[in-house]
Every structure is written in structure tokens, then in C-alpha cells.
Amino acid sequence: MSGTTTAAVALRRRAAGPGADRWVVLVVLCVSLLLVAVDATVLHVAVPAVTEDLRPGAVELLWIVDAYPLVCASLLILFGTLGDRVGRRRVLLLGYGLFGVASALAALADSAQVLIAARALLGVGGAMIMPATLSILRQVFPDRRERALAIGIWSAVAAVGAAVGPLLGGFLLEHFWWGSVFLVNIPLMLVSLPVGRLLLPESKGDRDGPWDVVGALMAAAGLFGVVLGVKRLGGGEPAGSVATLLPLLAGAALLTGFVRRQRRRAHPLVDLRLFARPAFSVSVGCIVLAMLALVGLELMAAQYLQLVLGLSPLGTGLRLLPLTFAAMAAGLAGARLLRRFGPRRMVCGGFCLTAAAVVTLTAMGPADNLPLLLSGFVLLGLGLETTLFGAYESMLSEAPQEHSGGAAAIGETSYQLGAGIGIALLGSVMNAAYAPGLAGVPGVPAPASEAAGHSLGEAYEVAGRLGGSAGLALRSAARDAFVHGLHVTLLVSAGLLLLGAVMALRLPRVMQCEGVPAAGVPAPRDAVESRVSV
């Protein structure tokens, strides 16, 4: 065996850690991800029970829901790069502990303020866990072909978690009080802490120089402002209001300062040269566009199923399960698809398949059409997971090992930003197409029509207060206007997805561990090792 081959094999053994089975490590990491993904959605069905018990104000209720994703998105870069410095396993285990403590605090909260604080702490724990799982996965699977399979399993678990959250929450609320949706985290954390300490390998980036504390805080504050502004836009706040513009402008200024600071430093917190690599920058853009479509479409699909078709929350969750199962299947098949078709065709094809699913769903009407919804949701799940898998795999493989925590944090941040922008952008398109359909409804006063134009749920409340023929007319007009707005929004989304397909044409044509690197893109070290050791 040559010296180069011996070095590559030794590197793999060191990466896996002494006595550690990388596939067992993957199971532990997937359990971590499952907890974070479930917690992101489990509260949605508990909001009515929380409102009835704690009586939060409108602003407090908004923060109860948004504190977790807002804090989590803001701190991903901070904790991702901190893990590169002090140890990724250490940050992950601290995240486990904080997640368990915050879950207990949320379950026992007796006021809206305590629940908001607990949800914010959950966001801190989630920000410690999410990038650490991806960067450790990057470390223990240095061979790109094996890593592709691991990422497929990892992303399939993420899809399961997002779908299980509302179903689990609905089940627990039928038998226990609303705090039980948080208590389920504690036994899993109690198991994950000792198991993670025993099985997970410790690793740090081979980087010199001090950790840039000021830069990390600038990134956190800037992301907080941008995400807060985007969420306010998604919640229906006017784009020109001070509460929306101020955080957006302040966040943009801080992020601009952060970028300039990183370019000047000898030892930057985030190596911005990664974005000069087309495979990395394009992958990040594809993640943003895919999440933009996914979250905005899921939100409107849930409203359609509940408010137009009249399904219960549990029935809505069950109707969306085909999307999750399709995403799981695409994630598990992703490694094979990537080897066969390469990143470019895989991501581009995923975007095109998703756009086809979205166009198919424009045939939805006021009446239930189960075959149409089933086929549309299955295509949607297959297309989006194929896109996200290919983009995540390309992004993570393009980043050097010493920057894996920062790269994972960038990927997760783009994931969160895409979700926030999707709600804001597609929600604005939806509202613009929906409201005009309620003007001039016979027998309905202008103030009632204006109030009904805010949302379909509010239109139903106004129709109930009006009663009689006017109420029935308003309810019918609102339902038809919502379906029309949904069609317009789906077409806009399809256009954005096709834009993503064009963007994906800049990705490498083949997996670099199995073929020649794309022109102008240096082969990652793990790709060279894979070819040498075969």
C-alpha cells in the first residue's frame, strides 16, 4: 500500500474516532435533529390551548411562536464557528443540556413571559445542535459517497420531524395539557447526553488565531434584525412601518459590517472565499429558494385544507403525510441519484419536478379532490427533497474540514432565511390576490369587506357576525377569493422554482469523488483521498 493511501486510511480512522462506529454516530445525530425539527412545529397545534390558559396579548402570542426560530436562526453562525474552535461535540452536548432545561421551563410556564423566555432558550439550544450535527457528519464520513448516503438519511429524518410535530402535538393535547408537547424532549435528552458523550467523536478545525467574538456578535445581531423584519413582513406588517424597516436596515448594516470585518481579518470567523466557489454559493442560493417554496406552500396548503375543505388539524396533518413520505423516499434514494446524475442534473431536476407539482396543484378548487392533492403533494415532496439533498451535499462537500462548522451554519442559516422570506413573500402575493375578490359583495358593508380582506379566517368570523344571506355571500366570496389567490401564489412560486433550476446549472456536472472536477474548481481533499484509496 502506498504512503498516500496509508495516510488517507489513517485520516478516516482518526475522523471516526477511536472505537466509534460512524453509522451509530449517524443514529445519534439523527435523534438530535429529530428533536429540533419536532420542536419547530409541535407548538403550532397547541397555540389555542396556550392562548386559553395563559391569556397572552397579540404581541406576546407572536413572540411565543416566533422566539424559537428567530433566536435559532440568529445564533447558527455564532455556535457553528464556536464549535470549530472549542470542539463540535462539546457544543452539541451543551446544546442537549440547554434544550432539556428549556423544555422543562416551557412545560411548567405559568405566564406568557416565562414561555417566551423558555422558547428563546430552546432556540439557543437548537442553534448549538443543528450546525454541530452537520459538521460532525462531515467529519465522520470523509468519503463523499458514504457521506451522500448519510446526508440522505439525515435529511429524511428532518422531513419526518417536521411532519411528526403537529401529529404528536395533536395526540398529546387530546390526552394531556399543552405543556406535555415540551416534556417529550426531556427523556430523549437524558438518553442523548450520556450516549453522545460516549459515542460522538470530538473534533476542532485546524485553525490558528483567536475566535472573533465581536464578529460573532455582529453576525448574531444582524441576522436577528433581518429575520425579525422578514417575519414582520410575513405577519402582514406594512413594509414601510418603523417596526419593520428599523430591524431590516439595522440587520443589513450589521451584516455588511460583518462581511467587511471578515475580509480584513487574518483569521476570519467565516472564510468568505467559500462563496467564490460556484458549487458552494449556488448551493446556498438553491437552499434559500427551495425553502422559500416549501414553507410558504405548506402554510397555504394547511390553510386551504382547514379553512376551505374544513378538515380538522389532525386531518390536515394526515393529508400532508404523503408529502413527508415522498421526501423521506427521495432522501434515502438521494445518494444513488447523486452518483448517477451528479449535482447539476439532480438539483435542476428537483426544481423542475417541484415546479411541475406546483402547477399541478393550481387545479385545486373549493371542492375536495383527493387524487389531485395526493399526486401534487407526492411530487412536491420528491422534488423539494431531491433539491435540498443535492444542494446540502454539494455545499458541505465543497467546504474544507476545518470550516465545516461555519459551512454547516451558513447552510442552516440560509434554510431559516428561506423559510422566513417564503412566508413573507408568498404571503404578500397571496394577500394582494385575495383582498380584491371581497370588494363589492352584495349586502356586505364596506367596513366588513375590508376586515374580511385581512385573511380567510377573519372573513369567516365577519360572515358569522353578519349572518343571513349577507354572511353566506361573504363566506362564499372569501372562499373563492382565497382559492384564486392560492392559484396566483402557486404560479409565482413555480416561476421562482424555475429560476432555481437555471441557477443550478452552475453546479458541478459529476460528483468530484467519481469524476473530473468542474473547470476552475479545485477538488476537495476528501475527493482526492477517495480516488487514491479505491
Say if residue 206 is in the same domain as residue 237: no
Whether residue 225 is found in the same domain as residue 196: no
Reported as type and span, the H/E element at residue 524 is none
Strands (E), 343-403: none
- Give the pLDDT of residue 472: 85
The share of the chain scoring above pLDDT 90, in percent, equals 3
Q: Is 219 contained in some domain?
A: yes
Q: In terms of domains, do 419 and 294 share one?
A: yes
β strands within 386-525, DSSP E: none
Does 173 share its domain with 237?
Answer: no
Q: At residue 183, does pLDDT exceed 50?
A: yes
Over residues 289-327, the pLDDT tens digits come to: 887 777 667 767 777 887 888 877 667 777 878 887 888
Which has more pLDDT, 455 or 494? Answer: 494
Question: Which range among 10-19, 50-59, 124-133, 489-498 has the greatest average pLDDT?
Answer: 489-498
Direct distance between the N- and C-terminal alpha carbons of the chain, in angstroms, rounded to an integer: 11
Residue 254 has pLDDT above 80, yes or no: yes
Task: Please say whether the beta carbons of 339 and 148 come within 8 A.
Answer: yes
Give the integer Cα–Cα distance in Å for 474 and 468. 10
Q: Could you give the CA distance from residue 443 to residue 428 in angstroms, rounded to a whole number?
A: 28
Three-class DSSP category at 36:
helix
Query: How do residues 372-419 score in pLDDT, each as one tens digit?
Result: 989 988 998 888 888 888 888 887 777 776 666 667 777 777 777 777
The pLDDT, as a whole number, for residue 206 is 58
Q: Report the half-sphere exposure of 264 (CA within 13 A, side-chain side).
A: 8
- Distance from C-alpha of 96 to C-alpha of 132, rounded to nearest angstrom: 11
Residues 251 and 201 placed together within one structural domain of the fold: no
The C-alpha atoms of residue 495 and residue 332 are separated, in whole angstroms, by 28
Picking from 511, 153, 162, 163, the residue whose alpha carbon sits closest to that of residue 332 is 153
Contact 188, 364 (CB under 8 A): no
> Hey, what's the cell of 326?
415522498
Residue partners of 28: CB distance under 8 A and separation at least 6? 192, 195, 196, 199, 200
525 has pLDDT over 50:
no
**Mean pLDDT score, 29-34:** 78
Higher per-residue confidence, 464 vs 515: 464
* pTM over the 0.85 mark: no
Q: Is residue 455 part of a domain?
A: no
404-434 and 370-398 are packed helices; what angle lies between their axes, rounded to 10 degrees?
150
The residue among 505, 155, 496 whose CA lies nearest residue 348 is 505
Handedness of CA 117, 123, 124, 126 (dihedral sign): positive
Kindly state whether residue 79 falls inside one of the protein's structural domains. yes
Host H or E run for residue 308: none
Give the span between the Cα atoms of 331 and 234, in whole angstroms: 29
> Is position 460 within any domain?
no
Cβ atoms 199, 26 nearer than 8 A? no
| Residue at which a domain ends, from 244, 268, 292 | 268
- The count of structural domains within the chain is 3
Residue 134: per-residue pLDDT: 75
Amino acid at 343: P
> Has residue 342 been placed in a domain?
yes
Task: Answer for the pair 268, 275: CB distance below 8 angstroms, yes or no.
Answer: no
Residues 6 or more apart in contact with residue 135 via CB below 8 angstroms? 80, 83, 84, 88, 203, 404, 405, 407, 408
Average pLDDT over residues 241-265: 83
If pLDDT is split at 50, 70 and 90, which confidence band does 351 have?
very high
Give the mean pLDDT of 243-256.
84
- Which residues, other chains included, contact 463 with Cβ-Cβ below 8 Å and sequence gap of 6+? 452, 471, 472, 474, 475, 478
Q: At what angle do helices 278-303 and 370-398 cross, to 10 degrees?
A: 150
In the chain, count H helices and then E strands: 20, 0
| Amino acid of residue 108 | L
Residue where one domain finishes, among candidates 196, 211, 226: 211
Average pLDDT, the chain: 76
Tell me the pLDDT band of 530, cut-offs 50, 70 and 90: very low
Q: Answer yes or no: are the C-beta atoms of 491 and 429 closer than 8 Å.
A: no
Shared domain for 81 and 122, answered yes or no, is: yes
Do 308 and 225 sit in the same domain of this protein?
no
Per-residue pLDDT, 402: 64
Last residue in a domain, options 167, 189, 211? 211
Looking at residue 305, the DSSP 8-state letter turns out to be I
How many whole angstroms separate alpha carbon 516 and alpha carbon 532?
14
List pLDDT tens digits, range 189-202. 888 888 878 877 77
93 lies in the same domain as 17: yes
Provide the 3-class DSSP secondary structure of residue 67: helix
471 falls within a domain: no
Q: Which amino acid is at 247?
A: P
Orientation of helix 404-434 relative to helix 112-140, angle to 10°: 130
Q: Does residue 58 sit in the same domain as residue 168?
A: yes
In a domain? residue 176? yes
341 and 354 fall within a common domain: yes
Residue 143 and residue 126 share a domain: yes
The answer to whether residue 483 sits within a structural domain is no
Helix ranges, 273-320 (H): 278-303, 313-319
- 255 and 161 in a single domain? The answer is no
Could you give the CA distance from residue 71 to residue 92 in angstroms, rounded to a whole number? 17
CA distance 498 to 321: 25
Q: Which domain holds residue 218?
A: 212-268
Q: What is the per-residue pLDDT for 401?
A: 66
Query: Are the CB atoms for 153 and 34 separated by under 8 Å?
Result: no
Q: Is 264 exposed, middle or buried (0-12, 13-18, 19+ CB in 10 A)?
A: exposed
- Assign residue 195 the CATH number of its domain: 1.20.1250.20
Q: Which residue has the higher pLDDT, 157 or 495?
A: 495
